[in-house]
Amino acid sequence: MESIHVNLAERAYDVLLGRGLLGCVGEELAARLGRRGVLVITDDRVGPLYLQRVLDSLARAGHRAAPLTLPHGESTKSLDTLPRVYAALAAHGITRSDLVLALGGGVIGDLSGFAAATWMRGVPFVQLPTSLLAQVDASVGGKVAVDLPQGKNLVGAFWQPSLVLIDPDTLETLPERYWRDGLGEVVKTGCILDAGLFALLEEAAPQGRQGLMARIDEILLRCVRAKASVVAEDERDTGRRMILNFGHTLGHAVEACEGYTGHSHGEAVAIGMSAVAHIQEAEHPETIAPGAAARLDALLDALSLPRALPALPAEALLQAMSLDKKRAGDALRIILLRRIGEAFALESSPAFYARYLSDRALTRLTVIR
Ligand SMILES: NC(=O)c1ccc[n+]([C@@H]2O[C@H](COP(=O)([O-])OP(=O)(O)OC[C@H]3O[C@@H](n4cnc5c(N)ncnc54)[C@H](O)[C@@H]3O)[C@@H](O)[C@H]2O)c1
Ligand SMILES: [Zn+2]
């Protein structure tokens, strides 16, 4: 089993990574945090697969545990779900000496974390992420939130977990769509922070998902280490953490213009990453190592991630980016690649993308696969 220490000034915690960890959650919690009351929150896709094993382990180790199973999907991550969660916390008498355990993807993690942050002004919270996206991204960093009809993640908090337990075996049952979604963020991590991870992906990608699963422990470990180091430098997201947004400016615009029913987040980020690298190469070649864009494209292709810009009007994409920027309340910082494994931020505007989005000569590079 691997252990990654997330070194935060106020509250440090460990991320444990190991195959089969799911079956000894109770023992790990008892050893690290003592015996406690535990509310296990999951969804109706993950619950039937893994809940019983977690509950058995908790019971064996002497915890007083109860489950709450919610419907799967983003619509569960809503303010409207919270009364149900608070009712379960009340019914099971969860206090600050107990804990909330999130068993599921980013939806369950974000929602449970927000409930934990607000119940009795904050109770301990443990994450057992089961999707690739949650294992490499959402479960590390302490951002918890629910959505409002007005927008995603509008009500939230920084609430760091006490422990994160990652069992790579759970990925065996993850539907293909969500596997690819998570891969987008994995490639992003390689691009901005870890050239070794990028090379590993290049090696494993031709063997498909099976090839990647054969190396998954190392892939996850590298992703978690990278995210943990950025979060430790910038817990409250006021500086360095912005590099995690590589590919996200255009990616968010694509998602928004497709009404969140087209490309998944990770796929949209893949399109955004390729776009940035090509714009740099075409318009600011001195800022990026030669060949980086082609290497990125080749990896995205090998992973069956899209990089072709969907046929959306350039004006609509630019408008969506402006709106995003207005929401963020400050300058648009675009994250650029210096080389594979290293990124930097540039204060810019949606105009950075204008020529790429409207100029066929340039977009042809990515439109035709
Ligand atoms: N807090 C953060 O820093 C952060 C970062 C990135 C994303 N997020 C949030 O994460 C959410 C997306 O996370 P997600 O992609 O995990 O979505 P999700 O939680 O909806 O999970 C995706 C689907 O896969 C199923 N699933 C999960 N694990 C499974 C497994 N092992 N086997 C079979 N099915 C499984 C789920 O039931 C669900 O249907 C979004 O709400 C996003 O805003 C948060
Ligand atoms: Zn993302």
Cβ of residue 255 lying under 6 Å from some atom of ligand 1: no
Exposure string over 192-210, b if 16+ CB within 10 A, otherwise e: bbbeebbebbbebbeeebe
pLDDT one-digit tens code per residue, 10-64: 789 999 999 999 999 999 999 999 999 999 999 999 999 999 999 999 999 999 9
Nearest residue by C-alpha to atom 4 in ligand 1: 138
Cα 98 versus chain centre, distance: 26
The pLDDT, as a whole number, for residue 330 is: 66
Give me the residue label for tokens 């991204």. Answer: 137
Q: Look at the pTM and tell me if it is higher than 0.75.
A: yes
pLDDT one-digit tens code per residue, 195-224: 999 999 999 999 999 999 999 999 999 999
Strands 64-70 and 37-43: parallel
Amino acid symbol at 182: G
What residues of the chain score a pLDDT lower than 70?
328-330, 360-369
| Residues constituting the chain | 369
Cβ of residue 125 lying under 6 Å from some atom of ligand 1: no
Strands 342-348 and 332-339: antiparallel
The interaxial angle of helices 106-118 and 82-91, nearest 10 deg, is 60
**Which domains, ranges and CATH numbers included, belong to the chain?**
2-173 (3.40.50.1970), 181-367 (1.20.1090.10)
Cβ of residue 134 lying under 6 Å from some atom of ligand 1: yes
Close Cβ partners of 260 (under 8 Å, ≥ 6 residues apart):
none
Cβ of residue 49 lying under 6 Å from some atom of ligand 1: yes
User: 298 alpha carbon to ligand 2 midpoint, in Å?
Assistant: 21
Give the span between the Cα atoms of 140 and 172, in whole angstroms: 21
